[in-house]
Chain A
Amino acid sequence: MTTVIMRTTARAIVPIILVVAISLFFDGHNLPGGGFIGGVLTTTAFAIVYMGFGLDFLERGILGRDVDPGKEPSRDRVVLAYRRLFAYGFALAVASGLAPLLFGKPFLTQTFEMLEGVPIYDHLEVASALAFDFGVYCVVVGGLLTILSVVGAE
């Protein structure tokens, strides 16, 4: 499926997908979106890269590393990074849940703060739930990409 059409299309749409995914993630608290949707969409972008350019492209083309083509993906460097991503994401989600305990609040209590007079945005809401949601995002991206690249390499 690594056709010219596929590659050209991928070149154009992958950045757009990534930007949309990130905006969905950040807008999630007030508009449709959120960590889960943003995460799945990000994964889709990666999947398209995989389909168009092959599994090793990320490392060889973007990170500029030498990759042994026959190497098993489960021990591949990028997969290790994915694994770490979902582990850290899960840790972040748990940690953001544990943080309120320091202030004598129950587990997973969330709060938010309105910041006024911020340049460009004028007023900006900072929700503590964003940290938790970022954990969700990381777990989804890390977990799905791990599955995708390991299964895809089969």
Chain B
Amino acid sequence: MSPDLAMVIAAVALPFVVAALTPVVFRVLGEGTGFAGTVVALTSFGLLATQYGTNGTVGLEWVPSLDLALRFYVDGWALLFAMLACGIGALIFAYSPAYMHGESGLVRYYAALLAFMGSIVGVALAADLIAIFLFWELTSLASFVLIGYYTADDSSQYAARMAMLITVGGGLFLLVGLLLLSLVASDVLGPGAAFNLAAMLESPETMQSALRERGLFLPVLGLLAIGAGTKSAQVPLHFWLPNAMAAPTPVSAFLHSATMVKVGVYFIGRVRPMLVSTEWLFLFATLGLTTMTVCAILAVASTDIKELLAYSTASHLGLMVAGFGFTSVYGAETGVFHLLNHALFKAALFLVAGIIAHEAGTREIDELNGLRHDLPVTAVITTVVALSMAGIPPFNGFYSKELLFEAAVEASHHHDIGLLGWLYPAVAVFGSIFTVLYSLRFLSLFFGERPEALGHVHRPPVTMLVPPAVLALLAAVISVDPQLAVDAIVQSGLEATAVDPHEMHVGLPTSYSPALGMSAVTIGVGLVAYPSYGRLHDAIRSVPRAVPPIGANWWYDTAVDGLSDEGRAFAETVHDGTLRTYATWTLAATCTLALAGFVAAGAIAPTELGVEVSLAIALVLLVAVIGGVAVATAESHIAGVLTLSILGFMVAIFYILASAPDLALTQLVVETLVLVIFLLVIEEIPERYEVEIGTVARDAVLSVLVGATAFVTVLVTTGARPDGSSEIARAYAEQAIPRGGGANIVNVTLVDFRGFDTLGELAVIALAAISILTLIVMRDRDGDRTAIRDGDELTGDEPAVTPADGGDDE
């Protein structure tokens, strides 16, 4: 059954529409806007649910002349991700009003959340490379706005900028990868399929072999991996995610655990059938397992509950990436199933962290203990989801982790990877031990002695308790009967991401397997090591303090600070406040670029100068040259300006002799105007400068460079002119009277044939006027803000001037 376009578009567009209407909704509902968001999320969820079981591409023409279309691809994998986003979104919106009570800027908050939800549904369903990229970057933008929600807080701004730099920077790598992909696709599958991801996925082998033939397989794989890796916080670009915890907790639960950071994982799963290979295994299994282990270790070193959860999220994202990296069917099962499981338990854990921070007033792990007395319901919820995160049977996290172990063991059966066949399972176990450790640590917040220092802890409002409870309940249901989730959606997600899908069966193991042994080791070592958690924690923390370069944050700060300083120093060199420096840099850069462009294009070739000029033209040009020399040797500015205009008028006469009266007129008029303007400003210029010899030399070199560039440009452009009049020139000449109704071909070309160019030039003139106004108004802006306000009011009540003034013009 093929999907219904209207339903799909409605599901994507609805959040965006409501996001645009948020100011109005907020005026009516106030802080209850969150519940409106819940309704929107549930509506989108319902619309997507009607498409459950469908499979195929639907689309709208977008720019038909460029073969661009807004295509949506609906299958189990897309629906799983999109519905997950809407479902968790509904809970987050319900949780927000109580958590964000009394905050300002809620319109921005809800609008960004809604726009984010629309983008995430869009990225899940998009089947067009351009649309995928647009939605992808929209999620980064929404994340930027939401991380920087506390605009007065420096650390929150720092974190927002960092997330933006990393994810959008990665997005650019993705863009290049997508463009390479589209180049190959338009070659192999025809131009209609250039941006059509669905068409590419229909013939994955053709695409892969075509990519390999052109030597583009590794570049594309690498570029897509960088894009997905930055988005999904893979080592070494994982550090933005813990910093992103500066966002309000519902945002962390929604964007930075359940959905946005999974976009990278989702995309890896999406292109998996097309790119899966031995290289794929090496890249993603290694990347994923490294991230999983490093971030799990860092989670143990965390002191803040949100920081712990953030590192844990990165670690679990690594698990999913590693899952998809393993080429066997178990790999795909791991990725798909863990995406669902992780979203359920991690979003719930973040919401629990939000409850703790909100009610206990602190997020320091050391200050929190014995919370079960104050928060009994939350304690029950946490027990379910924390054990699920640890991968303790029979909780749902256990099943997907078992699948990872199986995939890791299987890897050496499918590929000849030598030592890595042992290393992968070993690293998976090693990383998982830390997962058990930090999960137990999080759970221990609720148990043990309640410290005296902890003040009164309030009971959370019911709207903050229901969302994590719903998630924990779902996790519990999957724990009891995992096959239910598999049949409902995971199986169809598997079919989209696996190369050789088969019936998937998940349940508690009944007989011994290597994976079961690995689970036993993980949990056993975890439990044994737990009593020395404090020592481990201190030991890990002491490492980056001793060797700062080991921390990824250090690299980021060094690079960004270094670039900022370099940029500032460069700006001071180039823009030092004197006009001559500006002119030097601009002219030198322009000439160098132009000449380098000619050289690179091989445009400079020795040409014969067939010079045939009449005596009149030669005389005129001679006078112009003399004028030019006179400018350079002029004693005063007035003399210089006047001799310069001799040059200009000679050029005008040259145009007349070359039978171009329109050009001549323009040249004359502009020359006159420029002369007048020069005379206006000349009094402001100091009569003589003290000029050093070095400056003179610089100016001389620059002048020669500019002259040479102009000369070469004229030669190259006239050299490239076709012999005789080209077809288009003849057409213009013939059509000017019948089609344009004018005998002046220049004017007809300007206003009729090439009207769009003229419109662009008008925009340039208008912009120039606006920029000069802005420059002059801005210059003394700080001094008199009131004057500007008066000026603005004047704008409002002065329409009477225009007719009088306009009358003058005409």
Q: Are A and B a genuine interacting pair, yes or no?
A: yes
Chain B contacts for A110, CB-based, 8 A = 740, 751-752, 755
- Chain A, 110-154, contact with B by CB distance < 8 Å: what is the 0/1 string? 111000000000000101010011011011111110111011101
CB <8 Å contact, A85 and B809:
yes
In the assembled complex, A77 has its CB within 8 A of some CB on chain B? yes
Bound state CA distance, A34 and B680, in angstroms?
27
In the assembled complex, B527 has its CB within 8 A of some CB on chain A? no
Which chain A residues numbered 90 to 111 have a C-beta less than 8 Å away from chain B?
90, 93-94, 97, 107-108, 110-111
Bound state CA distance, A89 and B768, in angstroms?
15
Bound state CA distance, A85 and B662, in angstroms?
25
Bound state CA distance, A43 and B677, in angstroms?
11
Which chain B residues numbered 631 to 682 have a C-beta less than 8 Å away from chain A?
661-662, 664-666, 669-670, 672-673, 676-677, 679-681
* CB-contact partner of A83 in B670, B747, B755, B769, under 8 A: B769
Bound state CA distance, A107 and B808, in angstroms?
32
Which chain B residues numbered 770 to 810 have a C-beta less than 8 Å away from chain A?
772-773, 776-777, 787-788, 790-791, 794-795, 798, 801-802, 804-806, 808-810
Chain B contacts for A85, CB-based, 8 A = 802, 805-806, 809
In the assembled complex, A16 has its CB within 8 A of some CB on chain B? no
**Interface size of A as a range:** 35 or more
* CB-contact partner of B677 in A35, A47, A81, A138, under 8 A: A47
- B791, closest chain A residue (CB): A75
CB <8 Å contact, B665 and A33:
yes
Chain A contacts for B755, CB-based, 8 A = 97, 108, 110, 129, 132
Stretch binding the partner chain, chosen from B108-116, B426-434, B758-766 = B758-766
Chain A contacts for B787, CB-based, 8 A = 72, 75
CB <8 Å contact, B804 and A40:
no
CB <8 Å contact, A94 and B759:
yes
Bound state CA distance, A43 and B666, in angstroms?
13
CB <8 Å contact, A40 and B751:
no
* CB-contact partner of A139 in B744, B752, B765, under 8 A: B765
Chain B contacts for A148, CB-based, 8 A = 677, 680
- B742, closest chain A residue (CB): A29
Bound state CA distance, A72 and B794, in angstroms?
13
A125–chain B nearest beta-carbon distance, Å: 6
* CB-contact partner of B744 in A31, A72, A80, A86, under 8 A: A31
In the assembled complex, B219 has its CB within 8 A of some CB on chain A? no
* CB-contact partner of A75 in B673, B790, B801, under 8 A: B790
In the assembled complex, B741 has its CB within 8 A of some CB on chain A? yes
Chain A contacts for B763, CB-based, 8 A = 90
Chain A contacts for B752, CB-based, 8 A = 110, 129
- A32-B661, A33-B665, A146-B769 given; A44·B676 CB < 8 A: yes
A128–chain B nearest beta-carbon distance, Å: 9
In the assembled complex, B743 has its CB within 8 A of some CB on chain A? yes
Which chain A residues numbered 3 to 60 have a C-beta less than 8 Å away from chain B?
22, 24, 28-37, 40-44, 47-48, 50-51, 58
CB <8 Å contact, A34 and B672:
no
Chain B contacts for A147, CB-based, 8 A = 768-769, 772
CB <8 Å contact, B776 and A154:
yes
Chain A contacts for B804, CB-based, 8 A = 63
Chain B contacts for A132, CB-based, 8 A = 751, 755, 758
Chain B contacts for A63, CB-based, 8 A = 801, 804-805
Bound state CA distance, A152 and B332, in angstroms?
71
Chain A contacts for B768, CB-based, 8 A = 143, 147
Chain A contacts for B661, CB-based, 8 A = 32
Chain B contacts for A34, CB-based, 8 A = 662, 744, 746-747, 750-751
In the assembled complex, B570 has its CB within 8 A of some CB on chain A? no
* CB-contact partner of A133 in B665, B747, B805, under 8 A: B747
Which chain B residues numbered 584 to 599 have a C-beta less than 8 Å away from chain A?
none
- A47-B673, A74-B777, A75-B787 given; A86·B766 CB < 8 A: yes
CB <8 Å contact, A29 and B747:
yes
Interface of B: prevailing SS: helix
CB <8 Å contact, A84 and B742:
no
CB <8 Å contact, B742 and A127:
yes
Bound state CA distance, A22 and B807, in angstroms?
12
CB <8 Å contact, A78 and B765:
no
Chain B contacts for A51, CB-based, 8 A = 676, 679-680
CB <8 Å contact, B666 and A31:
no
In the assembled complex, B103 has its CB within 8 A of some CB on chain A? no
B336–chain A nearest beta-carbon distance, Å: 49
- A126, closest chain B residue (CB): B741
Bound state CA distance, A77 and B795, in angstroms?
9
- A30-B742, A32-B744, A87-B766 given; A74·B776 CB < 8 A: yes
Chain A contacts for B756, CB-based, 8 A = 97, 107-108
* CB-contact partner of B748 in A33, A129, A146, under 8 A: A129
- A31, closest chain B residue (CB): B744
CB <8 Å contact, B744 and A133:
no
CB <8 Å contact, B741 and A125:
yes
In the assembled complex, B213 has its CB within 8 A of some CB on chain A? no
- Centre residue among B684, B743, B805, B809 by max chain A CB count within 10 A: B809
B7–chain A nearest beta-carbon distance, Å: 33
CB <8 Å contact, A40 and B802:
no
A24–chain B nearest beta-carbon distance, Å: 7
Bound state CA distance, A47 and B680, in angstroms?
9
B777–chain A nearest beta-carbon distance, Å: 5
B629–chain A nearest beta-carbon distance, Å: 28
CB <8 Å contact, B742 and A80:
no
Bound state CA distance, A127 and B763, in angstroms?
23
A149–chain B nearest beta-carbon distance, Å: 10
Which chain B residues numbered 322 to 356 have a C-beta less than 8 Å away from chain A?
none
Chain A contacts for B677, CB-based, 8 A = 47, 148, 151-152
Chain B contacts for A93, CB-based, 8 A = 758-759, 762
Which chain B residues numbered 387 to 411 have a C-beta less than 8 Å away from chain A?
none
Bound state CA distance, A135 and B78, in angstroms?
51
* CB-contact partner of B669 in A41, A129, A138, under 8 A: A41
CB <8 Å contact, A40 and B673:
yes
CB <8 Å contact, A136 and B681:
no
CB <8 Å contact, B751 and A24:
no
CB <8 Å contact, A90 and B766:
yes
Bound state CA distance, A110 and B752, in angstroms?
6
CB <8 Å contact, A154 and B684:
yes
CB <8 Å contact, A142 and B669:
no
Chain B contacts for A75, CB-based, 8 A = 787-788, 790-791, 794
B3–chain A nearest beta-carbon distance, Å: 35
- A30-B742, A110-B740, A135-B762 given; A36·B750 CB < 8 A: yes
15 residue pairs A–B, Cβ–Cβ below 8 Å:
A31-B743, A31-B744, A33-B744, A51-B679, A74-B776, A81-B798, A85-B805, A108-B755, A129-B751, A133-B751, A144-B765, A150-B773, A152-B681, A154-B684, A154-B776
Residues of B within 8 A of A (CB): 661-662, 664-666, 669-670, 672-673, 676-677, 679-681, 684, 740-744, 746-748, 750-752, 755-756, 758-759, 762-763, 765-766, 768-769, 772-773, 776-777, 787-788, 790-791, 794-795, 798, 801-802, 804-806, 808-810
Residues of A within 8 A of B (CB): 1, 22, 24, 28-37, 40-44, 47-48, 50-51, 58, 62-63, 72, 74-75, 77-78, 80-90, 93-94, 97, 107-108, 110-112, 125, 127, 129, 132-133, 135-136, 138-144, 146-148, 150-152, 154
Extra contacts besides A30-B742, A35-B751, A83-B773 (5): CB < 8 Å? A80-B794, A81-B802, A89-B762, A127-B742, A146-B773
